[in-house]
Amino acid sequence: MERRAVDWWVGLFVLLGIGALVVLATRVGNLSGFAFSNGYTLSADFNNVGGLKVRSPVKLGGVTVGEVTRIRVDPKTFMALVTMRIDPQLRLPVDTGASIYTEGLLGEQFIALQPGGMPQDLKPGGTITMTQSAVNLDQLIGQMIFSKASGGK
């Protein structure tokens, strides 16, 4: 094997490895989170975030338009304060609502946005005030049993 040919093949081999790693990182792994890195942030208070995690999707009409960047407890109100990053091209009205839903019965939780009709837009860093917490299945079953029991009397 000629010297130059070996060099070429080894170089290509290493490049192929690096290329494969980049594709793995962005396409298979979740390093592709920079998709919304230039987006603006919004926050929302929830009573209960359920199984919502950082990087959970934010959807509007079923389309992913952002992701959750931070979840913490507000020390004053004791509400869960969720910060999310939204696609910069999307301007949401100030009366937009946010709810936490579950994908299917056992799927992941995500934030669903319901745009309102006000002419003013939410400013970057703004807060969504109309929120609906995660549905707690245990609580729901408890309520059902309770209402059945009281209804039976």
Cβ–Cβ < 8 Å for 69, 85: yes
Structure tokens at 108: 């992941």
CB neighbourhood size of 57 (10 A): 17
Mask: binding to other proteins, 57-96, rule CB under 8 A, as x and -?
----------------------------------------
Q: Which residues from 99-118 bind other proteins, rule CB under 8 A?
A: 104, 106-108
CB of 76 to other proteins, least distance (A): 32
Q: Facing residues of 66 across strands?
A: 58, 86
Q: Which of 44, 55, 127, 134 binds other proteins (CB under 8 A)?
A: 55
Instruction: Pick the piece of the chain touching other proteins (CB under 8 A) from 17-25, 77-85, 89-97, 122-130.
Output: 17-25
- # binding residues, other proteins (CB under 8 A): 27
Our finding on whether 31 is near other proteins (CB under 8 A) is yes
CB of 17 to other proteins, least distance (A): 3
For 116-120, which contacts have Cβ atoms below 8 Å and span 24 or more sequence positions?
A: 117/93, 118/93, 118/94, 119/93, 120/93, 120/94
d(CA 126, CA 85): 11
